[in-house]
Amino acid sequence: MSKRERDLTTFDKGIYWHDYVEKDDEKLDLKIQVTTPCDEAKIYVKKIECFDLPQALEEDFEILFFDWGGMSLGNSCMQHFCHQIINHAIDHSSRFYVMVSAFTKEAMEEAVVEFGKDKPFNIFLSIEDLGLWLDKYND
């Protein structure tokens, strides 16, 4: 018996929390870091709002894509933001949190170790990881 392929998974509202870039670059980053990988993973987000500040976590969303890699060098913002995301994910278990760059993936892995807890089940280290989890959940 063959495995049934997962249909498109749809989220109503997403947040792309990223480091600061010009508006034109933001559109390109959103496409490269989020929408194209989501398309490949059969994930569709009806509406994505972009934020470059931690207030993104105060918004109502189903899925948050995090990319703070470029601004992380030489400061502790990335570590601090990862800890905020971990706490938020624990408090909001019905939401998804996805790291979308190599920097954010590594920072989240380190933050989980520093935090001394298991990674919350709703934090994914890549869009591909989320897609694989959704495929498994579909079984």
pLDDT given for residue 72 in this prediction: 56
3 within a domain of the structure (yes/no): no
Q: What is the CATH number of the domain that holds 19?
A: 3.40.50
109 within a domain of the structure (yes/no): yes
130 within a domain of the structure (yes/no): yes
Low-confidence ranges of the chain (pLDDT < 70): 1-4, 70-75, 139
pLDDT given for residue 137 in this prediction: 83
Residues 71/20, Cβ–Cβ less than 8 Å:
yes
pLDDT given for residue 10 in this prediction: 95
Q: How many domains in the chain?
A: 1
67 within a domain of the structure (yes/no): yes
Domain holding 86, by residue range, is 9-138
**CA–CA dist 73, 108 (Å, integer):** 15
pLDDT given for residue 2 in this prediction: 47
pLDDT given for residue 112 in this prediction: 92
pLDDT given for residue 4 in this prediction: 63
91 within a domain of the structure (yes/no): yes
pLDDT given for residue 118 in this prediction: 87
Q: What is the pTM of this model?
A: 0.91
**CA–CA dist 11, 62 (Å, integer):** 6
